[in-house]
Amino acid sequence: MSWFRWSYWFSREFLTSGLMLWGLFWTNLLGTIYGYQWYAKQLVYTAGEMNLGFLLPFVPDSPTASLFFTLFLWFLIRDKRRGAEGAGRSRVSPWRGFVEVFALVTSFKYGIWAVAMIWAAAYQGEAPVWQDWMLTFSHLGMAAEALLYAGLYRYRWLSILPVACWVVLNEAVDYGFGVYPWLPGVLEDDLMEIASFTLVLSLAGIALAVLLWWFRARRVPLQGGRKAV
């Protein structure tokens, strides 16, 4: 049977199966809700103590990433319900393109970032607790699913531009106004290095989105003989 083959677990057939799509949809949705609850105190502090309520959209990073990946999964579920044919060759709306790129770049970025912060703190002497293990596995899952669905993104290159602007602006706001995710105390003296590492992850995520579009644009011709752009 097909599910005995290793390649099946990475195939379009499996990734777009109802079990996989709905399983990941609810996992990401519940994780998003939990993530915003996790940021609740920082959101209140940012709006109240720091008087920076206008910057609240920049505060919760990981849950916003998982929110957009949830939206991306919903698009795939909708396609499946409609019985969409030739999904890999058809154009998508600018909104869907933005959602796909945002989900890819930020899930990849914050999936790695959160794990790096947890274990950098552990390396400096902060003993991991069970929540750290839970966050490690969940954030690794974020990065993994963003890559796992690489073959199902349909965005065009123009969708990369606003996301690139957002993630770079997000770093400027986070570390310029001090609204970056609260860090373990042992890492507060490493803020410059963390800011640089975060920017590198942003650029890596943008580069990943560009590379995936570039390979797809040369592999999947559109109607009329033109390449996907």
Render pLDDT for 210-220 as a digit per residue (tens, 0 to 9). Answer: 999 999 988 76
What is d(CA 61, CA 87) in angstroms, rounded to the nearest whole number?
30
pLDDT of residue 90: 64
- Which own/partner pairs from 193-199 qualify as long-range (CB within 8 Å, at least 24 positions apart)? 194/117, 195/171, 197/113, 197/116, 198/109, 198/113, 198/171, 198/174, 199/168, 199/171
What is d(CA 42, CA 38) in angstroms, rounded to the nearest whole number?
8
**Which of 4-8, 69-73, 93-97, 120-124 has the weakest average pLDDT?**
4-8
Residue 62: enclosing H or E segment and its boundaries? helix 62-82
Residue 143 pLDDT level (bands cut at 50, 70, 90): very high
What is d(CA 1, CA 126) in angstroms, rounded to the nearest whole number?
48
Please say whether the beta carbons of 68 and 103 come within 8 A. Answer: yes
Give domain status of residue 198, yes or no. yes
Three-state DSSP at 227 gives strand
Give domain status of residue 151, yes or no. yes
C-alpha pair distances (Å), 36 with each of 33, 98, 115, 135, 211: 5, 21, 18, 14, 31
Domains contained in the chain, number: 1
pLDDT over 60 (residue 123): yes
Can you tell me the mean pLDDT for 56-69? Answer: 98
Can you tell me the mean pLDDT for 112-126? Answer: 96
What is d(CA 62, CA 111) in angstroms, rounded to the nearest whole number?
7
pLDDT over 50 (residue 158): yes
Can you tell me the mean pLDDT for 146-162? Answer: 96
What is d(CA 54, CA 33) in angstroms, rounded to the nearest whole number?
21
Give domain status of residue 4, yes or no. no
Considering just the CA atoms, what is the radius of gyration of the chain in Å?
19
pLDDT of residue 225: 46
Structural domain harbouring 212: 15-219
Give domain status of residue 74, yes or no. yes
Can you tell me the mean pLDDT for 105-111? Answer: 98
Can you tell me the mean pLDDT for 57-71? Answer: 98
pLDDT in tens, 183-197: 999 999 999 999 999
pLDDT of residue 7: 80
pLDDT over 90 (residue 174): yes
Can you tell me the mean pLDDT for 142-151? Answer: 97
Please say whether the beta carbons of 167 and 216 come within 8 A. Answer: no
Can you tell me the mean pLDDT for 174-181? Answer: 97
Give domain status of residue 229, yes or no. no
Give domain status of residue 5, yes or no. no
Give domain status of residue 227, yes or no. no
pLDDT of residue 224: 44
Tell me 84's DSSP state.
-
Give domain status of residue 10, yes or no. no
Residue 83 pLDDT level (bands cut at 50, 70, 90): confident
Please say whether the beta carbons of 201 and 112 come within 8 A. Answer: yes
pLDDT of residue 222: 47
pLDDT of residue 11: 87
Can you tell me the mean pLDDT for 146-172? Answer: 97
What is d(CA 2, CA 45) in angstroms, rounded to the nearest whole number?
52
